[in-house]
Amino acid sequence: MCHLARLAAVLGMTLLSITLLIPHPASADSGSRPVAGLPPPAAALINAFVVRHMEALGTPGLTLALTDSEGLVHEFHYGYSNLETGEPVTAQTLFPIGSISKALTALLALQFSGEKRIDIDSSIGDHLPWLDPPSSLSRITVQHLLSHTSGLPTDRDDIPSSPYRVLAARDLPTTTPPGERFHYSNVGYQLLGYLLEEVGGRPFAELLRERVFEPVGMHASEPAITHQARARIAVGYVSKYSDRPPQPSDPLVPAPWFEYGDADGGIAATGRDLAVFLGMLLNHGITPDGGRIVDEQSFRMMTTCATPPRGPSCHGLGLEIGAQGTIGHYGAMIGHSAQMLGDLPNGIGAVVMLNGPGDPTAVAAFALEVLRASRARDPLPRLPRIDPTRVPHAAQYAGRYRSPDGDGFDLVARGGRLYLVQGNRSVRLQRRGEDRFLAPIPRFEQFLLGFERSAGTVTHATHGAQWYVTARYPGPWEFDLPEDWLAYPGRYQSWSPWIPERRVIHRRGQLLLIQPSGREQRLEPLEHTGWFRVPEAQGGETVHFRDVVDGRALRVNVDGVDLYRSALR
């Protein structure tokens, strides 16, 4: 038992609660510039928010770096990179940055374009001659891959980093014809990485280090997640229970470890190095030593909408473009998440990386808001409350809920919170999105509790395959279900750490695919029996149920990945 675990046992506390009592703003000033840095009141406010955030969400370790177009402004380091050994997060700690890697991949592609080694409007088959036969991939261009308009699916997570992914992509169902619409695709960027290897004549990681890392100044980072770098990478942590929505009270366990080097998400970086990269973007492609890593035209392509806006944001090439001129990208690996967020008009930015539960986007956005106010000499923002049990308009949900078979529960609104009451037991609900809640009791822990509305009024609740109505529910009460759909509900599992399991249920005449996080995806039937498509707004995956034996499908394929009916409940 490690010294922290022993202390936790003595005090009757969880290991996580002990670690969060000892946040490590290690060397918080060590990376700051003496001029135009972060004033102490602003630094204290950011520090208070991060500590509050980590305590509320159970984050083991976190690094935050602020930058501008001239260089690093401030660094913060908190918690532990390894809970077992007690090793703290420091300026040298590496974090996998996930899909933020796409910004560096796009930069590399645009370098080759500027050198006339790639025409981004050319077919990918022109650069991958071993794609034989060319198949439908030949209609996809480099621009389509960069802008997520290739029509390729989001993921194919049963294949490790391998050029076989390019061949496998020939057999994947496409969501739309190339160029027709935006559909986020990790598969597309994986293909792009192997294309760049062909053009550059060297492994992708070597190209990235030589052409991006070195000129930008990312000297402490790694272009691939490898065993050689593992000792420097913060251990990722996940909930002990992988089959249900995680709770802050869940014990944390180390996330599965695997090497990864593909172009969609293979980089491990320090906070300082990623801030240096962001600073280069804020400086329109100018590196810290005054060199230009990408021409102005290519920079504009990265930071200009390449697809129609979706709400307040859109995608450029390798970057998400937000309101008021913000640029950035979110990234996640198993047990890690990160956010890179830049304010182009004001020339400031923030990067946040963490190794467990937490919301790096919220931390980066607040830190950037504080830095913006500090630079403008405006009043600093108020420290926000972080409490997932606080429910706006809680009274809208209050009432008695009953299922068609007579089972049910009551919801009571009190003090801005919502309580689920069954018999003599009352539990406080935790918000998990719009009209979605976690009820932390065994009976309800498998799924999230959802609420449906009619004309703005809450009329019924859902929980897995169950549904519960209030007195306000207008009907209907009976629903038709195609006979072949009866074979599909069940629990399906795979060995992939990215898609370990899915549950399939039918509820109120619909077939639903449910992720362990609680996310529900409606399955819309296609022409052939057993084939379904998730609506584009919910992900766009193609789902195929196979091998029906004794009235039960034994296998389901989700975007090329097979999951198998579990013998376990």
CB atoms within 10 A of CB 309: 12
For residue 390, what are the β-bridge partners?
417
Cα angle 336-339-344, degrees, rounded to a multiple of 5: 165
For residue 125, what are the β-bridge partners?
none
- Top pLDDT among 175 and 326 is at 326
Cα 564 to Cα 496: distance, rounded to the nearest angstrom:
12
Indicate if the pLDDT at residue 35 is higher than 80: no
Q: What is the structure's pLDDT at 55?
A: 96
Q: What is the structure's pLDDT at 58?
A: 95
Q: What is the structure's pLDDT at 132?
A: 64
Q: What does the pLDDT look like over 205-216, one tens digit per residue?
A: 999 999 999 999
Q: How confident is the model at residue 135 (pLDDT cuts 50, 70, 90)?
A: low
User: What is the set of domains in the chain, with CATH numbers?
Assistant: 3-101+205-376 (3.40.710.10), 104-204 (no CATH), 394-469 (2.40.128.50), 483-565 (2.40.128.50)
Residue 467 in tokens: 């549904």
Closest CA to 221 of 185, 181, 272: 272
Q: What are the phi and psi torsion angles at 510 (to 5°)?
A: -115, 150
Indicate if the pLDDT at residue 14 is higher than 50: no
Closest CA to 342 of 310, 302, 295: 302
Average pLDDT over residues 26-51: 72
Q: What does the pLDDT look like over 386-433, one tens digit per residue?
A: 999 999 999 999 999 999 888 999 999 999 999 999 888 999 999 999
Indicate if the pLDDT at residue 34 is higher than 60: no
Indicate if the pLDDT at residue 527 is higher than 80: yes
Indicate if the pLDDT at residue 519 is higher than 60: yes
Cα 247 to Cα 27: distance, rounded to the nearest angstrom:
31
Coil, helix or strand at residue 221: coil
Q: What is the structure's pLDDT at 111?
A: 97
The mean predicted confidence, pLDDT, of the chain is 91
Q: What is the structure's pLDDT at 363?
A: 99
Q: Are 363 and 64 in contact (CB under 8 A)?
A: yes
Q: What are the phi and psi torsion angles at 47 (to 5°)?
A: -60, -45
Q: How far is CA 467 from CA 117, 311, 394, 470, in A?
A: 58, 31, 20, 10
Between strands 348-354 and 399-402, the pairing is: unpaired
Q: What is the structure's pLDDT at 47?
A: 98
Indicate if the pLDDT at residue 28 is higher than 50: no
Average pLDDT over residues 302-309: 92
Predicted TM-score (pTM) of the model is 0.91
Indicate if the pLDDT at residue 185 is higher than 90: yes
What H or E segment, with its residue span, contains residue 50? Answer: helix 40-57
Q: How many residues does the chain have?
A: 569
Spatial neighbors of 88 by CB under 8 A, at least 6 apart, are 24, 26, 61, 77, 79, 80, 81
Indicate if the pLDDT at residue 20 is higher than 70: no
Q: Please name the amino acid found at residue 253.
A: V
Residue 569 is classified by DSSP as -
Closest CA to 543 of 529, 527, 528, 530: 530
Indicate if the pLDDT at residue 7 is higher than 70: no
Q: What does the pLDDT look like over 448-471, one tens digit per residue?
A: 999 999 999 999 999 999 999 999
Q: What is the structure's pLDDT at 173?
A: 75
Coil, helix or strand at residue 61: strand
For residue 426, what are the β-bridge partners?
421
What H or E segment, with its residue span, contains residue 77? Answer: strand 71-82
- Cα 345 to its chain centre, rounded Å, is 26
Q: What is the structure's pLDDT at 134?
A: 56
Q: What is the structure's pLDDT at 376?
A: 96
Residue 320 is classified by DSSP as E
Average pLDDT over residues 143-154: 94
Tokens 């645009």 belong to residue: 110
Q: What does the pLDDT look like over 263-275, one tens digit per residue?
A: 999 999 999 999 9
